[in-house]
Amino acid sequence: MKILISGHHVEITEGIKQSIENKFAKISKHYPSIITLNSTITVEPHQQKVEITTNYEGTKVTVNASDKKLYAAIASAAKKLQVALARRKGVLSAKFHEKFVVKQSDRFQMVS
């Protein structure tokens, strides 16, 4: 999985890159069909925001997290993304396992 990291009002350091790669490594193992992960880090006064966007099975999945500490926001975004992907996977599997009901018509009923 390729992780693209961009920053708004912040310089992306090696520590930030390592933190993001470590937090999203589990997601790449559970969802191997995800090719890219776009992350945007925004720093505002007293607030650190992280936005993660990816495409999963034809649908764009986006999560946002914010905290006073950047690493806490990254961890929160990783948890939210995992929940969003699990929800999307559940929707897809529910459609896949949907059972069709065959209705009986009048001409197939037995007449005595």
* Domain spans in the chain, listed from the N-terminal domain onward: 2-108
Q: Three-class SS of residue 72?
A: helix
pLDDT band at 42 (very low <50, low <70, confident <90, very high): very high
Q: Three-class SS of residue 1?
A: coil
Class of CATH domain 2-108: alpha beta
pLDDT band at 39 (very low <50, low <70, confident <90, very high): very high
Give the full edge-to-edge strand order of the sheet including 47-56: 2-8, 36-44, 47-56, 59-67
Q: What pLDDT, on the 0 to 100 scale, is given for residue 105? A: 57
Q: What pLDDT, on the 0 to 100 scale, is given for residue 103? A: 63
Question: Per residue in 44-103, pLDDT tens?
Answer: 999 999 999 999 888 899 999 999 999 999 999 999 999 998 887 766 666 655 665 666
Q: What pLDDT, on the 0 to 100 scale, is given for residue 22? A: 92
What's the pTM?
Answer: 0.76
